[in-house]
Amino acid sequence: MPDVLQWISMTLRAVTAHVATMAGIGLPVLVPAAPASALLMPAAPAPAAAALVATAWVAEARAADAGPQRVCRIGDRRLTELSGLVATASGYVVVNDGSDDPAARKIFYLNGKCAVTRTVSYPSRPRDTEDMGLAADGTLWVADIGDNGENRTTVALWRLAPGAKKPQLFRLSYPDGPHDAEALLLDPGGTPIVVTKTIATAGVYVPASPLRAGKVTPLRRAGSVSLPVTTTSNPFSFPGRLVVTGGAVSPDDRHAVLRTYADAFEFDVSGGDVIGAITEGKPRQIALPDEPQGESVTYTADGTALLTVSEGTDPWLLRYGLPSRPAISKSPSASPSPSHSRSPSPTAAATARNVGFPAGALITGGVLLLAAGALLGVLILRRRR
């Protein structure tokens, strides 16, 4: 299929999925299924279709007043596929996604000027590391959860305890088949929360039992997330606004953030219930316009801003200011490890997000579907002539 037709078909599928999800109905997918990675087709080949879908369900924009601030540039040639990022008191920690270069398959520690100061190697080869989280006790978690082809029987978490020389591997399995995922959050008790990259409605999963090295721990579905759709410019246009590519929890555990290729969405967290916040809460939008391929997000060490970085050569670490809040000043304290921490409550785990869906938005979505379908038909007829 030519690029134009492929893009329109995938966009039509995305709009259908989003409208159906938010309306609470089970509409069929109107075009052949495609993996989320294939959906991310640059918008340039189909400006007409982009114009049609760009007016769909728009959230209130709360972008930083002056745009992002460039913090420092990451010039190390091993760091060109950055997907995970956390901030520390002395700098940053980053990981690449599934790299074929052994030199890039490490955990990289950076100073405040984005220069690499040390690295930590994995004891075995990771498959596709996509995100990171830093627990209150200083334990670093690396989420080896990427699965573009959705064919992995297990995914994994790597745990690097403070002072440890190598991370420890914990394998996980989904209860409902493989998923591609790029976002990891940690609740205040240290429980890892995986958010999938499913189009329009992301699944939220947590371990169903304590993590055990050398064993496969089953995950259980704890809910779902449907983020508002915006008009924020990004390299992948409308599809880039529908998939979650990263997540983080603030150092004081009072906020959580999920990002797409276009925006970040911050949720207020009450009583440490991160799952309840992201599945039921109303987020604030922070636009992240035109990042080359933004798949990472974290909070600054003081919690007053978001940090992001994109894949590519010599990427900039960017800082986005958040609504006024006091700076956090706390040292890492002892906290139960995720293998002994409490699991999210059954109530939170069983509750799906209840998204209000105005009739006008449903009508608009239907019109967009008809228009996109008509455009697809016209292009197909033209191609047949």
Lowest mean pLDDT among 138-152, 182-196, 345-359: 345-359
Split at pLDDT 50, 70, 90, the class of 325 is confident
pLDDT > 90? residue 374: no
Average pLDDT of the chain is: 78
Structure confidence at residue 67 (pLDDT): 83
Judge if pTM exceeds 0.85. no
Structure confidence at residue 328 (pLDDT): 85
Structure confidence at residue 329 (pLDDT): 76
Structure confidence at residue 368 (pLDDT): 44
pLDDT > 70? residue 142: yes
Let me know if domain 69-350 sits in CATH 2.120.10.30.
yes
pLDDT > 60? residue 375: no
The residue among 297 and 55 whose pLDDT is bigger is 297
Structure confidence at residue 195 (pLDDT): 98
Q: What is the mean pLDDT of residues 117-126?
A: 96
Domain boundaries, the chain: 3-55+358-384, 69-350
pLDDT > 60? residue 370: no
pLDDT > 60? residue 169: yes
Q: What is the pLDDT of residues 61-79, one digit of tens each?
A: 444 446 899 999 999 999 9
Lowest mean pLDDT among 167-176, 200-209, 275-284, 334-343: 334-343
HEC assignment per residue over the chain = CCHHHHHHHHHHHHHHHHHHHHHCCCCCCCCCCCCHHHHCCCCCCCHHHHHHHCCCCCCCECCCCCCCEEEEECCCCCCCCEEEEEECCCEEEEEECCCCCHHHCEEEEEECCCCEEEEEECCCCCCCCCEEEECCCCCEEEEECCCCCCCCCCEEEEEECCCCCCCEEEEEECCCCCCCEEEEEECCCCCEEEEECCCCCEEEEEECCCCCCCCEEEEEEEEEECCCCCCCCCCCCHHHHCCCCEEEECCCCCEEEEECCCEEEEEECCCCCHHHHHHHCCCEEEECCCCCCECCCEECCCCCEEEECECCCCCEEEEEECCCCCCCCCCCCCCCCCCCCCCCCHHHHHCCCCCCCCHHHHHHHHHHHHHHHHHHHHHHHHHHC
